[in-house]
């Protein structure tokens, strides 16, 4: 990795800047598997609370202990790494400890876990980036749901490790690999998925944005393509944001716009090799950066 890219993925943005927790993060485990297990034990995914399974209580303890006054999805409350960390200390003054009960965990989704991991790694001087895409959680080849992971730079092996500290789904190696070193073919990066659907190689119906509407296909993948582009630029957006020009009118996207997105996706299939071109787009294509959300629309 060249120095420019190395420095870029050591730097932080709005969401990953550790602020007052920089020194605390540096005391956390240096071994990334130990770190992943520690961070994993600070989180309970909202779907686990909404659809509790007795099998999972071996990880979380009795779900009945989750306080009734707390919402079951705290994503909108704790968006940045310092906010999540402050709440974890409020819930338990010991901070990040192993084997927490569900009552002392944050109820947040994978994007937030990825932000927290990235913040800790960067504080430790380890290049790290968040990535947005899709994964086959059931490991049966049926459908892929939207998901965020990290890529952590392994200096010894000179490679990015696909790393997921969200949940307990594969750390037991039930599927033949660890969630702390996911093979590239087990995670569907948004850019490759976009290109695969556009070329007719992949069936877009199998890629789902879990927004309770069943959004799938190119529309779902486009949302995650832009989230991934922003993440590569150290701007790990909250997932309600997306570029204004495709927010309400996906069906009206022109062929010119589609080809422009195709070009961006092609560059993103190899973000290190294309870093300079991606960075140029980031600084010149304002329509990829003008964002909106349900709370930020023009009136």
Model confidence pLDDT, tens digit, residues 232-277:
999 999 988 877 777 777 888 889 999 999 999 999 999 999 999 9
The answer to the question of residue 187 being in a domain is: yes
Number of domains in the chain: 1
Q: What is the pTM of this model?
A: 0.95
Pick from 114, 110, 131, 125: nearest CA to 232: 131
Locus of tokens 């994964």: 135
128-135 and 291-292: which strand pairing? unpaired
Q: Which two tokens stand for residue 110?
A: 């994978």
The answer to the question of residue 299 being in a domain is: no
Cβ atoms of 113 and 48 closer than 8 Å: no
The answer to the question of residue 298 being in a domain is: no
Neighbours of 54 (CB within 10 A): 8
Pick from 155, 154, 224: nearest CA to 188: 224
The answer to the question of residue 297 being in a domain is: no
pLDDT tens for the chain, 299 residues: list them: 899 999 999 999 999 999 999 999 999 999 999 999 999 999 999 999 999 889 889 999 999 999 999 999 999 999 999 999 999 999 999 999 999 999 999 999 999 999 999 999 999 999 999 999 999 877 777 788 999 999 999 999 999 999 999 988 876 677 788 999 999 999 999 999 999 999 999 999 999 888 777 788 899 999 999 999 999 999 999 988 877 777 777 888 889 999 999 999 999 999 999 999 999 999 999 988 888 887 776 54
Cβ atoms of 15 and 115 closer than 8 Å: yes
The answer to the question of residue 18 being in a domain is: yes
In terms of residue numbers, what domain contains 127?
3-292
The answer to the question of residue 97 being in a domain is: yes
The answer to the question of residue 40 being in a domain is: yes
Distance separating alpha carbons of residues 294 and 288, to the nearest angstrom: 18
How does 283-299 read in b/e, with b if 16+ C-beta sit within 10 Å?
eeeeebbebbeeeeeee
The answer to the question of residue 245 being in a domain is: yes
- State the chain's maximal CA–CA distance in angstroms: 55
Distance separating alpha carbons of residues 138 and 268, to the nearest angstrom: 26
Cβ atoms of 200 and 212 closer than 8 Å: no
**Rounded to 5 degrees, what are φ and ψ at 108?**
-135, 165
């Amino acid at each position: 990795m060249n120095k420019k890219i190395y420095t870029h993925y050591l730097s932080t943005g709005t969401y990953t800047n550790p602020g007052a927790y920089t020194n605390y993060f540096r005391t956390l485990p240096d071994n990334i598997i130990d770190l992943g297990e520690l961070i994993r034990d600070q989180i309970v995914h909202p779907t686990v609370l909404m659809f509790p399974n007795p099998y999972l209580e071996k990880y979380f303890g009795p779900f009945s202990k989750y306080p009734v006054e707390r919402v079951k999805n705290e994503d909108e409350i704790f968006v940045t790494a310092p906010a999540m960390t402050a709440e974890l200390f409020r819930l338990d003054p010991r901070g990040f400890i192993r084997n927490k009960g569900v009552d002392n965990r944050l109820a947040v989704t994978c994007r937030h876990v990825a932000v927290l991991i990235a913040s800790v790694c960067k504080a430790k001087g380890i290049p790290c980036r968040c990535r947005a895409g899709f994964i086959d959680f059931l490991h049966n080849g049926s459908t892929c749901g939207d998901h965020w992971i990290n890529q952590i730079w392994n200096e010894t092996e000179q490679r990015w490790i696909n790393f997921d500290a969200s949940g307990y789904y594969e750390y037991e190696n039930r599927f033949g690999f660890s969630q702390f070193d996911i093979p590239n073919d087990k995670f569907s990066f948004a850019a490759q998925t976009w290109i695969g659907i556009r070329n007719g190689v992949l069936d877009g119906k199998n890629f789902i944005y879990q927004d309770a509407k069943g959004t799938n296909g190119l529309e779902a993948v486009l949302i995650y393509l832009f989230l991934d582009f922003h993440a590569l630029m150290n701007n790990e957006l909250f997932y309600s944001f997306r570029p204004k020009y495709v927010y309400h009118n996906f069906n009206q996207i022109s062929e010119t716009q589609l080809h422009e997105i195709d070009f961006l996706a092609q560059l993103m299939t190899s973000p290190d090799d294309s870093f300079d071109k991606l960075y140029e787009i980031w600084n010149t294509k304002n329509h990829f950066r003008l964002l909106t959300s349900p709370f930020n629309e023009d009136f």
